């Protein structure tokens, strides 16, 4: 008798579990729009300008800017930062034909058709994770002194973020250097080495060839990033070397071994604003998305679009 009852219970509950599993893994979550705003996105390289609902755009930016494996609180922090960045661009470019481009010049945006091909059988699971992050922060953005925050972000710090004045030559009260000790633990890009042939090194910097390579660091920021240096008595900004040699950071050292120049960098990206891997490290330690944002952007507040 007990076996018969157990068998009947199995027949009752198995369909329930199948439906529950199906609904959670194969049904797409909808975006909970409160305000329908559109952002004008210039698609590259076609240069077509598309009007995209802002929250849908933020989902595509999360897909393009942060690994899908990241913890939810880090994704939520990125959603708010990206929404703030987008709103600021909409404010700046209101009299132009478009607000943002879909590349690293602004924020990388990946549309649904691309993601369906890229993620294949994982599409619904992945898109639901991103939509959950967006729905959890719907319409939220960062504000400082009554104005939308220009919420810059980057991949990996060298242990500190950087003042905007040292990288972009403008002072900003909320883009100040803060400690970011989490990056070294969670980012594979924290420490990297790059080798360049000496001839190519000089060519990229437009310096006459010499077998001798003399490096003089003239000025570093408080975060150890190079601001000024001399290479064979020619003065460069740290950002010049960063751009010309396609380095990952302005915290770098250069060594010559025979005809090979070895460049060691700490961190990845310009260093201003929120460190994405720092956000991941904070999330793993139990910090919430608003705590992450308020750590990296000084004295800001979270508010909602009206």
Per-residue pLDDT tens over the stretch 212-271: 999 999 999 999 999 999 999 999 999 999 999 999 999 999 999 999 999 999 999 999
Alpha-carbon distance 190 to 12, whole Å?
A: 53
pLDDT score, position 25: 56
pTM score of the predicted model? 0.88
Sheet holding 252-257, edge to edge: 191-197, 260-266, 252-257
Q: Contact 84/149 with Cβ under 8 angstroms?
A: yes
pLDDT score, position 17: 43
Q: Which residue has the tokens 């490290």?
A: 281
pLDDT score, position 23: 43
User: What is the rounded end-to-end Cα distance, in angstroms, of the chain?
Assistant: 63
pLDDT score, position 35: 76
Inter-helix orientation angle 72-92/276-284, to 10°: 150
Write the CB contacts of 156 (distance below 8 Å, at least 6 apart in sequence): 183, 187, 189, 190, 248, 249, 267, 268, 269, 275, 276, 277, 278
Q: Contact 289/125 with Cβ under 8 angstroms?
A: no
pLDDT score, position 40: 98
Intervals of the chain under pLDDT 70: 1-25
């Amino acid at each position: 008798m007990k076996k018969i009852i157990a068998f009947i219970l199995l027949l009752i509950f198995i369909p329930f579990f199948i439906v529950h599993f199906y609904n959670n893994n194969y049904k797409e979550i909808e975006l909970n729009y409160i305000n329908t705003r559109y952002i004008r996105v210039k698609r590259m390289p076609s240069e077509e300008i598309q009007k995209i609902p802002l929250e849908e755009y933020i989902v595509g930016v999360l897909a393009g800017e942060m690994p899908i494996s990241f913890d939810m609180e880090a994704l939520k922090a990125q959603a708010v930062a990206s929404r703030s960045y987008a709103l600021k661009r909409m404010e700046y470019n209101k009299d132009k034909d478009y607000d943002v481009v879909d590349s690293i010049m602004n924020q990388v945006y990946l549309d649904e058709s691309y993601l369906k091909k890229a993620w294949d059988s994982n599409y619904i699971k992945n898109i639901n994770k991103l939509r959950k992050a967006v729905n959890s922060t719907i319409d939220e953005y960062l504000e400082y002194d009554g104005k939308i925050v220009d919420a810059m972000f980057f991949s990996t710090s060298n242990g500190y973020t950087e003042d905007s004045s040292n990288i972009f030559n403008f002072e900003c009260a909320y883009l100040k250097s803060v400690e970011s000790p989490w990056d070294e633990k969670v980012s594979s890009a924290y420490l990297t080495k790059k080798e360049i042939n000496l001839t190519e090194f000089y060519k990229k910097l437009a310096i006459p060839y010499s077998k001798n390579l003399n490096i003089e660091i003239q000025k570093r920021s408080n975060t150890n990033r190079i601001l000024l240096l001399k290479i064979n008595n020619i003065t460069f900004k740290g950002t010049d070397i960063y751009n010309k040699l396609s380095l990952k950071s302005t915290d770098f050292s250069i060594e010559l071994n025979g005809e090979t120049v070895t460049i060691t960098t700490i961190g990845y990206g310009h260093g201003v604003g929120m460190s994405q891997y720092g956000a991941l490290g904070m999330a793993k330690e139990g910090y919430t998305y608003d705590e992450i944002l308020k750590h990296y952007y000084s004295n800001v507040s979270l508010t909602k679009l009206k």
